Amino acid sequence: MKNNPTPRELADEALEALRASPMTSDEHFEFLVQQGIIDRSGRVLVAKLFGEQADQEQPHAPAGPAPASKNGA
């Protein structure tokens, strides 16, 4: 088994896989939606890429000075 296939070997393998299981563009779109990779409008879903916790995390505050406390300290 080779550890580092060449780009040509990877391309040949990908073409072989596509020919073995062809899909129409509509079928491919439905497959991506069913797998949770994109939504119906075609946007990439973050949860699939980064895990379920990505949706639950709070957005990070922009870089800059820390906000002042209420008592002025």
pLDDT, one tens digit per residue, over 14-67 is: 999 889 988 999 999 999 899 888 999 999 887 766 766 544 544 444 444 445
- What's residue 11's pLDDT? 94
- What's residue 16's pLDDT? 94
Count Cα neighbours of 34 within 13 Å in the Cβ-side half-sphere: 6
* Dihedral class, residue 67 (left if φ above 0, else alpha if ψ from -120 to 50, else beta): beta
CB 45 within 8 A of CB 37: yes
- What's residue 71's pLDDT? 55
